[in-house]
């Protein structure tokens, strides 16, 4: 029973206890599920946990407390450095995404204004076309009548021209009178 306590096992035990003793509703059930997952991940059995408790009860870690504190401070400072770098990366990403969102909003506003101008010009053109069609309501009928009148006048003019210019040859019938 005089085995040394592994700092990794001690950290796992502390994590487990912290999760189980949370005050938030539903947190203990989640903690138990987390305990099961961590135990499977770290291959810790119930017997190993029991032995760890017995070992801590029989051998409290007092002689190595300075080494453990130094190890803990080093690991905490390393975690803190990692967390700060992660936070700075996330902040940088958020800033870049914010810039992209602002650009997209500006582009969206520009496209909306262009769409509005296009819709207005379309409405003006439709109004103008409607006004022009109102000026000549019988435009197609007028064109058809004009074409028919032109055709009739052409035929009549050709008949008049042919009858005036081309006289049929009439033989001299005076010879038949004697």
Q: List the alpha helices (DSSP H) in the chain.
A: 7-20, 27-41, 46-58, 65-135, 139-165
Q: How many domains does the chain have?
A: 2
Range of the domain at 104: 67-133
- From 39, 61, 83, the end of a domain falls on 61
pTM: 0.35
For 25, half-sphere exposure in the C-beta direction (CA atoms, 13 angstrom radius) is 0
* Cβ–Cβ under 8 Å, residues 18 and 35: no
**Among residues of the chain, what percentage have pLDDT more than 90?**
28
Are 104 and 124 members of one domain? yes
What per-residue confidence (pLDDT) applies to 1?
A: 42
Give the confidence band of 57 by pLDDT, cuts at 50, 70, 90: low
Q: Which residues contact 10 (CB under 8 A, 6 or more apart)?
A: 52, 56, 61
Give the confidence band of 121 by pLDDT, cuts at 50, 70, 90: very high
* Cβ–Cβ under 8 Å, residues 29 and 22: no
Reading the block at residue 37, the tokens are 């997952």
Each residue's pLDDT tens digit, 90-111: 889 999 999 999 999 999 999 9
Whole-number average pLDDT of the chain: 79
Q: Is residue 117 part of a domain?
A: yes
Give the confidence band of 132 by pLDDT, cuts at 50, 70, 90: confident
For 23, half-sphere exposure in the C-beta direction (CA atoms, 13 angstrom radius) is 0
Are 52 and 84 members of one domain? no
Are 36 and 53 members of one domain? yes
* Cβ–Cβ under 8 Å, residues 12 and 4: no
């Amino acid at each position: 029973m005089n085995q040394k306590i592994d700092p990794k096992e001690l950290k796992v035990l502390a994590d487990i206890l912290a999760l189980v003793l949370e005050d938030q509703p539903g947190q203990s059930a989640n903690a138990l599920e987390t305990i099961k997952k961590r135990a499977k991940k770290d291959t810790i059995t119930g017997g190993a946990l029991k032995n760890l408790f017995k070992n801590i009860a029989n051998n409290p870690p007092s002689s190595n407390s300075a080494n453990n504190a130094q190890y803990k401070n080093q690991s905490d400072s390393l975690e803190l450095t990692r967390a700060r770098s992660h936070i700075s990366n996330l902040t940088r990403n958020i800033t870049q995404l914010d810039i992209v969102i602002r650009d997209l909003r500006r582009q969206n506003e520009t496209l909306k204004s262009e769409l509005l101008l296009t819709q207005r010009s379309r409405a003006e053109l439709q109004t103008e076309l409607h006004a022009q069609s109102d000026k000549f309501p019988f435009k197609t009928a007028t064109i058809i009548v004009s074409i028919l009148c032109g055709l009739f006048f052409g035929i009549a003019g050709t008949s008049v021209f042919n009858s005036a210019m081309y006289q049929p040859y009439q033989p001299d019938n005076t010879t038949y009178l004697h």
